[in-house]
Amino acid sequence: METDWIGMLWRNRMRVWRFVQVGAALVLMAAILQLWLSSERQSQALLARQTDQLADSLVQQAAHAAATALKLDDAEQLNWLINSLVDDPRVVSATVFSHQGQRLAFSQSLFPEAQLPDEETLQAALARFAPLTATVRQEDEVLGYLRIRINRALFFRDNRTLHQQQHDQQQLMLLLAGLVGALLARSLSFKRASYSYRQAQRRNLVKARRRALKRRQKDDSANEPSSPSP
């Protein structure tokens, strides 16, 4: 009877310990979720900066390529350059200006040539895309200006796709690591609990036997007949 009571007490202690473990796990999960959300916000900001840097790099490289054509006043090469820029689906339009602001070459990809609207409608449509402007220089001489309009969503999408692939791989590795940790913890917890419970039962059994032996010895001493008086 006493052994059953001790076993019940032990099981209650283990139940309380499991509740504590579950509570700690929930707190850790909340902390991990907060860290994940913070990481997502930082990733979005990083992607936006990378998009800006990539767009700036594109317009600077194009301006460098336009320098020779402007220096030689080569209209054919300028047209080839801006058409090459617009062939990039991320570039909506490209315009080259002289150093006096006169438009020398222009190309766009919003409308096909056969359906090109009037200038006002075209400019209104292009105004939806933020312009990037770079000065075309050769040494210290300003030759003109290059302005391109880009679809930032496409720049962002390309970066986002690469980032998402890396992010998915990281999530999979974290999930596998968590699963392995949970399996190991569960296995060790069961083994430790089983071992501790057996040890406690053995100790309780030894104590019970000792108490029973002491009671038996005490009873035997009480039942021994007293020696007769001489």
Cβ atoms of residues 93 and 108 within 8 Å: yes
User: What CATH architecture applies to the domain 52-152?
Assistant: 2-Layer Sandwich (3.30)
Q: Where are the domains of the chain?
A: 2-45+160-219, 52-152
Cβ atoms of residues 132 and 148 within 8 Å: yes
pLDDT tops 90 at residue 206: no
Return the DSSP state at 230: -
- 99: helix, strand or coil: coil
63-92 tens-digit pLDDT: 888 888 888 888 899 999 999 999 988 899
pLDDT at 57: 86
174-186 tens-digit pLDDT: 776 667 666 666 6
Cβ atoms of residues 86 and 101 within 8 Å: no
Identify the residue with better confidence: 64 or 192. Answer: 64
Q: How many CB atoms lie within 10 A of CB 58?
A: 19
pLDDT tops 80 at residue 99: yes
pTM of model > 0.75: no
- List beta partners, residue 133: 147
Q: How far is CA 46 from CA 33, 40, 43, 60, 160, in A?
A: 20, 10, 5, 21, 10
pLDDT at 39: 73
* Distance (Å, whole) CA 47 – CA 157: 9
- List beta partners, residue 185: none
* Distance (Å, whole) CA 6 – CA 208: 11
46-67 tens-digit pLDDT: 777 777 888 888 888 888 888 8
Q: How many CA atoms lie within 13 A of 100 on its CB side?
A: 2
Residue 126: both structure tokens together? 């292009």
